[in-house]
Amino acid sequence: MAAGGSWQAWVEAARLRTLPAAIIPVMVGTALANAHGGANYGTACICLGFALLVQIGTNYANDYFDFVKGADTAARVGPRRAVVAGLITPKAMCIAMMVVFAVAFAVGLLLVRTGGWVLLPIGVISILCGIAYTGGPYPLGYNGLGDLFVFIFFGLVAVSTTFYVQTGSVTADAIVCAAAIGLLAANIIVPNNYRDMETDAAAGKRTLVVRFGRKFAVKQYAICATLAMGCPVALLGYGYHWAVLLPLILIPKAVKLTRRLAASTEPVEQIRLLGDTAKFLALFGVLLSAGLIFGAK
């Protein structure tokens, strides 16, 4: 086992496929700020840096704690994890996790200068929950709360905070957009948990799929996608013009992804679905951002 691991191992452990969950909320929050006449792209870049660091830190924490708790073993059929594969030692991964979160905290302090001290507890809680997703005495991901964590922190908090630090307020249309992004971000982890149901159950990891089964997971995936598609329509009620409906062109793709999940039986297909769900979030976010800019009041 390589103590520090190669740079390729660290990149792999960062799980690049999940990074749209960090990038898209900042993009949408900034597009909203632009629609309200208050976009500040320097501040948006700081938000993006914080979001990416929290996402990567959470991924490192997952790699470490899932190994320690026995959820990641040689029997796991998904993408390899750096610690269990022997690419990086548990100690090195733990240190890396702490370093990344420390840097995230430092970057977050730059936002406090702009948005005020109210952002400090939000940033601290975001980091602590990133650790608590799989670590601590009551890990969220092990107790069926992982989906809710993603919805809140990669949707409601990320979009609303990005918007707030640029405009000084949080509006109803920002909450609508934040909820849509959170729902689609939560869908990213569904194929992963769907694939790992048996190994998670054996390790005591009680995800929603483990608790309620794969049919429930398909319904959850479909409902989240459907509710997210309602966001552009709702925005018409806040005075936006037709351009905000651009994301609706993705409805056929959302249906196709849901059907693929329902029909999937092989881990390789569920791995592809994870990546394709992340791409769907990215496409939705880009189209929603364009719609907010071109469809502004």
How confident is the model at residue 258, as a pLDDT?
Answer: 98
Mean of pLDDT over the chain:
91
More confident of the two residues 6 and 154: 154
For range 255-280, the mean pLDDT: 94
Q: What is the pLDDT of residue 78?
A: 62
Please tell me the predicted confidence (pLDDT) of residue 72. Answer: 61
For the chain, which residues make up each domain, given as ranges? 7-294
Confidence at residue 7, expressed as pLDDT on a 0 to 100 scale: 84
Predicted pLDDT at 73: 58
* The residue type at 169: S
Tokens found for residue 181: 């992004």
What is the model's pTM? Answer: 0.91
167 CA to centre of own chain:
23
Of 95 and 205, the one with more pLDDT: 95
* Rounded Cα gap, residues 133 and 63, in angstroms: 11
**pLDDT, tens digit (0-9, with 9 covering 90-100), for 218-231:** 999 999 999 999 99
Q: Is the pLDDT of residue 297 over 80?
A: no
Mean pLDDT, range 106-128, rounded to an integer: 91
CATH code for residues 7-294: 1.10.600
Convert 249-273 to b/e letters by CB count within 10 Å (16 or more is b): ebeeebeebbebbeebeebeebbeb
Task: Give the pLDDT band (50/70/90) at residue 1.
Answer: very low
Q: Using CA atoms, how far apart are residues 192 and 257, in angstroms rounded to an integer?
A: 14
Q: Is 60 exceeded by the pLDDT of residue 192?
A: yes
pLDDT in tens, 31-82: 999 999 989 999 999 999 999 999 999 999 999 998 887 766 555 566 678 8
Q: Please report the pLDDT score of residue 86 as a whole number.
A: 85
Distance, in Å, from the CA atom of 291 to the CA atom of 243, rounded to the nearest integer, reads 5
Identify which of 106, 178, 109, 194 has the alpha carbon closest to the alpha carbon of residue 146.
Answer: 194
* Token code pair at residue 228: 């997210």
Q: What are phi and psi of 281, to 5 degrees?
A: -60, -45
Single-letter residue type at 176: V
Tell me the torsion sign for CA atoms 253, 188, 156, 222: positive
Over 50: is that where the pLDDT of 254 sits? yes
